[in-house]
């Protein structure tokens, strides 16, 4: 019988690629009794396959005469990822993958993976990995928005992201690299719950780029601030820790519960409202509004490699329409002289630049140290995964600020 680790990896790949379920959702659906070690290792294998699937399929192609069933194809991808990318001993990877498939396909899996093992890393040499691992529609869309930076972006997606932490005032995390924006960065693979101070609520996980919208909103103590689409709560925590009176709106009850749990650990207050923002009447106006709008999340592929396989062009169009509606509603709730920041963790121009032609409160270079080159001609901020590459990169965000 195959190991629990590889059975978990196969279940995760099947959920994402065949059932089109998000990887984190599939991870939560694994058997409750599974050992944390097997769960974590299975997740790492599945994430590696999703991140490098185009390259892995190209490496397998010479030894496949016809397309195998999805379960067998995914098993071959697992074996290839372990052999070529994860450094698993050949006997363990091959024998376990053989045990994963129905008996009629055992010989095929054994023969193909032995060939891959014999070839070694040479099987990946000469392949255009950034292009192979990026769907054509995304490559074209990114080239239209970001020009020649598309290749550097795709290369950045081939690597796991480090763990970024936002700190409570006065908090220090030993061993962290402090980035120019104040984010504390820990090495790839660090478990946040293992870091001293987690239980005491001294920090929370938040990519460096994800911290920028609140920094540009610049909340002041005592201000009434609306946080739209608030879960899981990293930005809510930033607002509350700055002393603002926060109203956090989240449509989905489970996500709102997670938001409340995160704020409880951090001992931060917020008025949480479970409502669809487009059908909600706040009954007041706000000094500042943060709209971190729902999007395709293509800026988070380093952390969520399943996004590449789950999102399609029609998702971009649908999300863009929703963003326009939310932005119109938020403008109507802004007090005279107030500030509104619109943000998406998307690399798609339709979910960022296309919403604004003029009239922005331009981002100033001194507000974004180390990211002066990310300020657009419109005065918005556009981060990409290849930025700060020497330190491990960052998520792709579009951020625009408006004055009431």
Residue pair 108/31 in contact (Cβ under 8 Å)? The answer is no
**295 is a catalytic site residue:** no
Residue 123, judged by CB atoms within 10 A of its CB (0-12, 13-18, 19+), counts as: buried
- 97, 229, 295, 345: the active-site residue: 345
Residues designated catalytic: 345
């Amino acid at each position: 019988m195959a190991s629990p680790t590889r059975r978990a990896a196969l279940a995760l790949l099947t959920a994402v690629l065949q059932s089109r379920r998000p990887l984190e959702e599939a991870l939560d659906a694994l058997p409750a009794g599974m050992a944390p070690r097997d769960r974590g290792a299975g997740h790492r294998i599945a994430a590696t396959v999703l991140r490098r699937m185009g390259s892995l399929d190209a490496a397998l192609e010479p030894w496949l005469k016809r397309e195998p069933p999805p379960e067998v194809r995914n098993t071959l991808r697992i074996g290839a990822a372990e052999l070529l990318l994860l450094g698993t001993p050949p006997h363990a990877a091959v024998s376990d993958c053989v045990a994963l498939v129905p008996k009629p396909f055992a010989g095929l899996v054994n023969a193909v993976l032995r060939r891959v093992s014999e070839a070694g890393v040479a099987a990946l040499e000469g392949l255009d990995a950034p292009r192979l691992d990026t769907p054509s529609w995304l490559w074209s869309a990114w080239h239209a928005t970001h020009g020649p930076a598309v290749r550097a972006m795709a290369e950045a997606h081939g690597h796991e992201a480090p763990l970024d932490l936002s700190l409570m005032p006065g908090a220090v995390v030993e061993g962290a690299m402090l980035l120019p924006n104040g984010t504390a960065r820990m090495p790839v693979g660090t478990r946040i719950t293992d870091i001293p101070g987690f239980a005491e609520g001294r920090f929370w996980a938040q990519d460096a780029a994800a911290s920028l919208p609140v920094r540009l909103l610049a909340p002041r103590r005592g201000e009434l601030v609306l946080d739209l689409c608030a879960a899981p709560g990293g930005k809510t925590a930033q607002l509350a820790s700055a002393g603002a009176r926060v109203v956090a709106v989240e449509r989905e009850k489970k996500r709102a519960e997670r938001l409340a749990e995160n704020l409880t650990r951090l001992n931060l207050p917020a008025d949480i409202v479970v409502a669809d923002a487009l059908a909600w009447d706040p009954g007041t106006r706000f000094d500042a509004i943060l709209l971190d709008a729902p999007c395709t999340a293509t800026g988070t592929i380093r952390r969520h490699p399943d996004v590449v396989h789950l999102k399609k062009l029609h998702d971009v169009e649908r999300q863009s329409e929703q963003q326009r509606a939310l932005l119109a509603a938020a403008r109507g709730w802004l007090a005279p002289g107030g500030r509104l920041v619109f943000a998406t963790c998307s690399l798609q121009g339709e979910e960022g630049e296309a919403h604004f032609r003029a009239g922005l409160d331009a981002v100033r270079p001194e507000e974004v140290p180390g990211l002066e080159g990310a300020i657009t001609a419109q005065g918005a901020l556009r981060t990409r995964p290849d930025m700060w590459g020497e330190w491990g990169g960052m998520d792709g965000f579009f951020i625009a600020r408006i004055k009431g």
